């Protein structure tokens, strides 16, 4: 959102930091620079967490049932020569991790790639928190998707001259996410949690009784529960201090802190929205956190396209995506069966959907002598789409090319090395089409 207020704030902040000393640098490497103090919206569950339990009862979440497919636009910041900086490989890794955490937590939410945009500008290698992040992320924005900016480093320069490096941030005004490319494990998942309305469980932990969440779950604030009104306002995330200084490598809480009422903290240490120093500790969303995310998804302006319905079957993506380029190729193992779809990508309101029509796969031949393999293409659940199958060697030389009108087997003889299979949908674009593929060793090859 390029509001005048946003631009004015940016100018003021710029003036504020312009004369600071840049010599000192603290490699604090903090986790998330998102400041949720400025966003105080009264929600239905504030003072009434039962609302969330009633709400989530509408969502069957067992067996990884998916209710939302959310498209992501990735902005990759590279140097002028495109030699350094975030790459497509980072995108694949980040989407895989994101889907892993959202699926294993049975959130009902999944993610697919809408588009990758590359920004070649050496000066953007260090992303400034105060000026650059809000400004650049307001300009670089694709509607209908969550915009994720993958940067080399994210730096907040304090008035004292100290610099603090962060792993990521969520901008509550323009709804953008910025994460550093070397962001371990659940870093992006945490920031997406902010996008869907989650707060840090330690919010206001160092404040007085008016704002601090009490350890006790039954402590009252007026006629409501303290844990429903203070901290992250969710009672199923225990009160906790910012964990970064109070956690060991095995994710044990090692602090001895008490809240303002004298009760000793007994935090869990595996919540994705917490500040654990060791990010592998981040594993779970609680039931109330999942309900908050689903509630906010229902209120999202893109609800009609992101929500899974009979009308939205065209957005069904497969588990090997993103695999639209050679760099994004998914690994293929002999004898495994892969199911792929050619689907539509939501492109924002009043815009035409985009087609996802190319799949890349990588195979590795390990034998020194010639290896005979067969690529078998089978019909999926829908009509067989007319496709073009190409096999390329690692030097991009096309060694096989076939137009496929029906289920087919293609025999190949390969020597040791990496090969790429490219499958393109060349039929007149339909809503959704699919196929299955299996690579086997040819019969001739079978030896004991």
**Binding stretches for Zn ion (CB under 5 A):** 32, 34
Of the pair 34, 114, the CB lying nearest Zn ion is at 34
Of the pair 238, 385, the CB lying nearest Zn ion is at 238
Question: Least CB distance from residue 193 to Zn ion, whole Å?
Answer: 8
Of the pair 293, 389, the CB lying nearest Zn ion is at 293
Of the pair 113, 293, the CB lying nearest Zn ion is at 293
Question: Least CB distance from residue 76 to Zn ion, whole Å?
Answer: 22
Give Cα separations from 338 to 102, 414, 436 (angstroms): 22, 21, 6
For residues 339 and 341, what is the distance between their CA atoms, to the nearest angstrom? Answer: 7
* Residue 441 neighbours by CB distance under 10 Å: 15
Of the pair 142, 199, the CB lying nearest Zn ion is at 199
Q: Determine the 3-state secondary structure of 125 from DSSP.
A: coil
Question: Least CB distance from residue 194 to Zn ion, whole Å?
Answer: 6
Question: Least CB distance from residue 181 to Zn ion, whole Å?
Answer: 18
Check the CA dihedral 44-50-54-59 and report its sign. Answer: positive
Give all strands (DSSP E) within 260-386, no chain letters: 330-331, 337-345, 354-356, 358-365, 371-379
For residues 12 and 131, what is the distance between their CA atoms, to the nearest angstrom? Answer: 10
Question: Least CB distance from residue 201 to Zn ion, whole Å?
Answer: 10
Question: Least CB distance from residue 273 to Zn ion, whole Å?
Answer: 7
Of the pair 35, 80, the CB lying nearest Zn ion is at 35
For residue 287, what are its two tokens? 């039931």
Give Cα separations from 439 to 317, 328, 329 (angstroms): 21, 19, 15
Q: Which residues lie closer than 8 Å to 215 by C-beta, 6 or more apart?
A: 238, 239, 258, 259, 261, 263, 264, 265, 266
Of the pair 92, 200, the CB lying nearest Zn ion is at 200
Question: Least CB distance from residue 189 to Zn ion, whole Å?
Answer: 11
For residues 315 and 66, what is the distance between their CA atoms, to the nearest angstrom? Answer: 13
Of the pair 271, 347, the CB lying nearest Zn ion is at 271
Q: Which residues pair with 434 in a beta bridge?
A: 341
Closest-CB residue for Zn ion?
Answer: 32
Contact call for residues 231 and 205 (beta carbons, < 8 A):
yes
Q: Are strands 68-78 and 146-151 parallel, antiparallel or unpaired?
A: parallel
Question: Least CB distance from residue 271 to Zn ion, whole Å?
Answer: 11
For residues 302 and 304, what is the distance between their CA atoms, to the nearest angstrom? Answer: 6
């Amino acid at each position: 959102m390029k509001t005048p207020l946003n631009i004015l704030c940016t100018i003021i902040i710029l003036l504020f930091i312009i004369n600071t000393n840049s010599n000192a640098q603290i490699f604090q490497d903090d986790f998330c620079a998102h400041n949720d103090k400025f966003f105080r919206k009264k929600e239905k569950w504030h003072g009434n967490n039962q609302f969330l339990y009633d709400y989530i009862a509408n969502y069957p979440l067992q067996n990884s049932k998916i209710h939302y497919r959310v498209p992501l636009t990735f902005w990759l910041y590279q140097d002028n020569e495109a030699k350094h900086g975030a790459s497509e490989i980072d995108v694949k890794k980040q989407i895989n991790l994101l889907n892993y955490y959202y699926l294993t937590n049975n959130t009902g939410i999944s993610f697919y790639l809408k588009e990758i945009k590359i920004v070649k500008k050496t000066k953007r290698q260090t992303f400034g928190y105060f000026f650059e992040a809000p400004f650049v992320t307001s300009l670089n924005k694709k509607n209908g998707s969550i915009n994720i900016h993958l940067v080399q480093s994210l730096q907040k320069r304090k008035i004292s001259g100290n610099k603090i490096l962060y792993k990521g941030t969520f901008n509550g005004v323009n709804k953008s996410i910025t994460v550093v490319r070397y962001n371990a494990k659940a870093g992006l998942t945490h920031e997406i949690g902010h996008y869907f309305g989650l707060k840090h469980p330690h919010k206001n932990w160092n404040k007085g009784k008016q704002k601090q969440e009490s350890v006790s779950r039954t402590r009252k604030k007026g006629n409501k529960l303290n844990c429903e009104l203070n901290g992250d306002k969710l009672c199923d995330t225990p009160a906790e201090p910012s964990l970064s200084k109070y956690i060991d490598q095995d994710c044990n809480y090692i602090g001895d802190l008490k809240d303002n009422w004298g009760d000793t903290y007994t935090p869990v240490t595996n919540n994705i929205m917490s500040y654990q120093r060791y990010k592998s500790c981040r594993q779970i969303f609680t039931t109330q956190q999942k309900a908050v995310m689903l509630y906010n998804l229902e209120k999202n302006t893109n609800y009609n396209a992101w929500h899974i319905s009979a009308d939205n079957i065209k957005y069904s993506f497969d588990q090997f995506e993103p695999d639209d380029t050679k760099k994004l190729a998914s690994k293929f193992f002999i004898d495994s069966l892969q199911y792929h779809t050619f689907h539509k990508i939501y492109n924002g309101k009043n815009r035409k959907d985009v087609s996802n029509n190319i799949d890349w796969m990588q195979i590795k031949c390990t034998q020194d002598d010639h290896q005979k393999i067969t690529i078998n293409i089978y019909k999926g659940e829908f009509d067989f789409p007319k496709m073009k199958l190409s096999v390329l060697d690692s030097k991009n030389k096309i060694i096989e090319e076939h137009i496929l009108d029906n289920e087919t087997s293609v025999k190949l003889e390969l020597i040791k090395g990496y090969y790429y299979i490219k499958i393109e949908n060349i039929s007149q674009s339909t809503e959704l089409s699919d196929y299955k593929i299996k690579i086997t060793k040819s019969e001739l090859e079978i030896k004991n």
